[in-house]
Amino acid sequence: MSRSATDSLAAPSGWTGFALLAFATVAAYVTSFNGVFQFDDWAVIALEPRVHSLAAWWQSMPGIRPLLKLSYALNWSSGYGIAGFHAVNLGLHLANACLVLALLRRLAARLGNAATLAPLVAALLFALHPVQTEAVTYISGRSSSLSATFALASLWCHDIGRAAPRPAPRRWLAWFVSPLLFMLALGVKETTVVVPAAIVLLVLCDAKRRVRWREALAAAAPHGLALIVAALLAATLPRYWMLLESSVTARELGVNLLSQMHAVAWLLGQLAMPWRLNADPMLAAVTAWTPATVVLATLYAAMLVVGCTSLRRRPALAFGILWFFLWLAPTNSLLPRLDLANDRQLYVALIGPAWLAGLLAARAMAPASRPRRIALSAALAALLLGLAAATAQRNTLYASEIAFWTDVAAKSPANARAAGNLGYALARAGRPAEAEAQFRRALALDPQYTRAAINLMLLQDGTLE
């Protein structure tokens, strides 16, 4: 997108944009404080004694994701209960939204679009889209939001430090602080391994001067070294090897690649159709090529070709496309996972499509007449308000396990786990007849679902706790 198409539309500058972003984010997520422990929250927080005190956390080290577990231990020890967990999650999401705005403003400046509305629109879409609730309202979704905080802070510090003229005291931000933040991100979640590649992408996206690959790779060298150090440390922990083994045996790599083509399409659908958000979609594996798979493979290849070939002439377009695929690569490519896709995998990847949407909005408004600009601005405001309202509504599902699993079961009628968990939630609520019906439904869907069979037996005996 050319400069002439976007540089005439001014956006709130300075702290005004951040204030608007903060107000909108808090307003959309104020309903999240009614949320209770859900799904994995029980296994990794509520019933996990190793995060119930700092001493217990320390005794469990060394272990995987140490900083994530430390954050849980600090929350649990604070005495503020579930509200404290939600406050931290909201604070992280707010910080991330501000980092997105700051980072995209710097990117826009390099692309000659510093005065456009694009960065603010992108940051608002990132903050308000209801797909983000799984990383914010779902308490154990913190693995995505906390790791994103360190990763985005690393990218921001690197961009500031690298932009400083030589010699400059801010240079140490790029060479020391940024790699350190990257290592902290890895200490929360391993999917942030793509930070060095993200640095390369940001460096290459510069319309003001021609950047060569050698320079871009050199800019990410300290982070590459940090990644090697982190990998060596992780290799000393048997738990990581166990997880890797369970991953590669979950399904064949070829089957996983075919399946992920459809999983990425499903994730794109979540962005376009947020009313179908699902906390446990249980997507089926794809074991052979189909016409749909061929179409998806062709589409993704074309998008990647467009992204790579646009780096020189249309870096704004290239950034949006390549960022999306880059941040999905750790979870939605070759390495198998137990679940093919979850909404929270889009948490950082969403920045790419949000940036493209922001550019499109700025381009549509810039050359328009005043009445048309007013109409377009009203439409954009309505879209953002609609997303915020959908997020606020989505948050209410986390206030009850029955509401949570009823929603999943309705959207995934073949999901035996959803039926079994809904049955357990109903049993805990003192509704045994309904609980029995759900346990039987779970067993009808999956006769080998042992947990549902045991819970049904205990329910009938009156001993289910």
Contact 120, 358 (CB under 8 A): yes
Distance CA 430, CA 427 (A): 5
The residues, any chain, with a CB within 8 Å of residue 2's CB and separated by 6 or more, are none
| DSSP secondary structure letters along 286-314 | --S--HHHHHHHHHHHHHHHHHHHTTTT-
pLDDT of residue 1: 42
Distance, CA of 333 to CA of 257 (rounded, Å)? 6
| Residue 4: predicted pLDDT | 38
Residue 10: predicted pLDDT? 55
pLDDT at 121: 96
Query: In whole angstroms, what is the distance from residue 117 CA to residue 104 CA?
Result: 11
Task: Give pLDDT < 50 ranges for the chain.
Answer: 1-9
Which H or E run contains 126? helix 118-128
The pLDDT of residue 348 is 98
- Cα 279 from Cα 183, distance rounded (Å): 29
DSSP string, 193-233: GGHHHHHHHHHH--SSS---HHHHHHHTHHHHHHHHHHHHH
- What pLDDT was estimated at residue 5? 40
* In contact, 84 and 75? CB cutoff 8 Å: yes
Instruction: Please report the pLDDT score of residue 443 as a whole number.
Output: 96
Predicted pLDDT at 229: 95
pLDDT digits over 288-297, tens only? 999 999 999 9
At 2 the pLDDT is 42
Write down the pLDDT at residue 165: 65
**Whether the Cβ atoms of residue 392 and residue 31 lie closer than 8 Å to each other:** yes
Domain 401-461 CATH superfamily = Tetratricopeptide repeat domain (1.25.40.10)
Residue ranges covered by each domain of the chain: 3-250+351-395, 401-461
Distance, in Å, from the CA atom of 84 to the CA atom of 399, rounded to the nearest integer, reads 15
What pLDDT, on a 0 to 100 scale, did the predictor assign at position 462? 87
CA–CA distance from 165 to each of 161, 201, 216, 223, 356 (Å)?
9, 21, 17, 21, 30
Neighbour-count burial for 20-35, b at 16+ CB within 10 Å, e otherwise: bbbebbeebbebbbeb
Judged on CB neighbours under 10 Å (0-12, 13-18, 19+), 18 is middle
Give the chain's length: 465
Angle between helices 118-128 and 15-29 (to 10 degrees): 20
In tens, the pLDDT along 405-430 reads 999 999 999 999 999 999 999 999 99
